[in-house]
Structure 1
Amino acid sequence: MAGRTDQLESTVDGVLETIMEKFHGHDSTSFDYDTSSSSIKSNMYRAFGREKPPFADGKSASDVFMWRDKKVSACVLGVATAIWVLFELLEYHLLTFACHVIIFSLSIFFLWSNTSTLMNKSPPQIPELALSEDIVLRIASALTIEINGVIEISRDIASGRDLKKFLAAIVFLWVLSIVGSCCSFLTLFYICFVFLHTVPVLFEKYEDQVHSFAETAESEIKKQYAFFDAKVLSKIPRRPLKEKKVA
């Protein structure tokens, strides 16, 4: 009886070991497959060194720009278009517009309150508006970080350490000056705003094609820069570096 029990236990142990071996083997296979697929994805070219889709952090601004809530995005774009038409096409001045809006609002509330009093009704409750100190500090902190970043980049370019950054900055500012001479600041701001509502969506939709084109463009730019460096930059005479005196 004891022999049969030992034999049964050994058989059960053998079956369990076989099942565990198959399970671990399947696990390692799937792990290898995941690793290989992830390595392939990591080796793919990503434009601008990006590893995740643009505006993929789930913030409210990204939801507007990516048209995840079409009603809100359409309203924001409509308001921006109305402001551009009002101030640019109709040539309405900002101070005049602000004064007219305040006059109209105060008149409506004043008439509403007096009419309600005459009709023995409760006057409208005007909400108390106050600017939160936390919001002001956040805006100031964000602006400080951005301005300091621009100053740091400008100092790095002006120091002459990176010729590529210097040429890129010159070309960008030159193009920006040409665009600024062709249109007003409000029109330029509106164009950038429209781009923010269209380019990220198209980029997310045609992401693979953009990465392929960016890879080709980057290799071509590097080739042209190497040619320019060999033909022009390398022939510019430079002052030889002074040897340090050994004490």
Structure 2
Amino acid sequence: MPEGKASVRNMVSSIADGASKQKSVSSPEEENSVKHNKLFGREKPVHNILGGGKSADVMLWRNKTISGSVLGSATIIWLLFEWLNYHLLTLICFAIVMLMLGQFLWVNAIEKFSSTPIKLPRIVIPDHVFVNIAKSIGGEINRGLGFLQDISCSGNMKQCLLVVASLWATAVIGSWCNFITVAYIGFVAAHTLPVLYERYDETIDSVMDMIFDKLRHNFRTLDAGDLSKIASNITEKKAE
């Protein structure tokens, strides 16, 4: 246990020393090389990677009022489901009951004070709304599947480890919480992590590069040690 703690301290101290050295670099060639080591190997701005539309503007807080309203609404919905133990069917039924009672009172009040009968317009949701929603959801799912397939087939260990670690963290959180809480955590992360990365991308990229360089070095050392053990075992068996 002391050796493991010492190795962890050495790794953290080496990363901190590397970060301080990275900030003091003044050579243009080194600065350019650092700038090209972007997270997930991205070459486009974060806004374009997120789609470049209104959803990207909301996630990157281009309009703080709209983004704050969206995040606040999601928080209220999560509180209703998680803390007040509401269910989706219960909320839908309550909303329909309130709508029906409101129309009932409105119609009866108008009939008492007016001699002409009133005809309320029908509440109809256009078909293209459902089609657009289905297309949007299907497009996002296909884009996510394509992204995961590109990562798995790219051969880039850093990208693959990041995605695997993210999925592993999601699985662990999912074992602790229910689906609504996991969805809310993902929603909050989608509205906070991109804007933080856009603001501090150079610092995050440099730190992540140093962490993955350290992991690559440890992996190669471990791999070389295992290969040497296997080779020695094979030679010993042949000698016998």
Q: So what's the TM-score if we normalise by structure 1?
A: 0.64
Deviations 1:159-214 (A, max 9, x none): xx979698777765544332222111111111111111111111111122112112
Residue 210 of structure 1, aligned match among 201, 204, 211: 204
1:84-163 equivalences under 5 Å are: 84-120=78-114, 125=121, 128-132=124-128, 134-136=131-133, 138-139=135-136, 141-142=138-139, 145-146=142-143, 149=146
1:158-173 equivalences under 5 Å are: none
Inter-CA distance 95–233: structure 2 relative to 1 (3 Å threshold):
farther
- Aligned counterparts of 1:210 and 1:201: Cα–Cα separation in 2: 12
- Aligned counterparts of 1:79 and 1:198: Cα–Cα separation in 2: 15
Inter-CA distance 182–134: structure 2 relative to 1 (3 Å threshold):
closer
Residue identity over aligned pairs, in percent, reads: 31
Aligned residue identity for 2:70: V
Q: Which has the higher contact order (CA 8 A, sep 6+)?
A: 2
Displacement of 1:104:
0.7
Inter-CA distance 149–92: structure 2 relative to 1 (3 Å threshold):
same
Q: So what's the TM-score if we normalise by structure 2?
A: 0.66
Inter-CA distance 52–190: structure 2 relative to 1 (3 Å threshold):
same
Q: Which runs of 5+ in 1 are unaligned?
A: 1-35, 238-247
- Aligned counterparts of 1:46 and 1:147: Cα–Cα separation in 2: 20
- Aligned counterparts of 1:58 and 1:213: Cα–Cα separation in 2: 27
Q: Which runs of 5+ in 2 are unaligned?
A: 1-27, 232-240
Tell me whether 1:64 sits opposite 2:58 in the alignment.
Answer: yes
CA contact (8 A) 1:117 1:123 kept: no
Aligned residue identity for 2:125: L
CA contact (8 A) 1:112 1:123 kept: no
Which structure has the greater CA radius of gyration? Answer: 1
Query: Cα RMSD between the aligned structures?
Result: 3.7
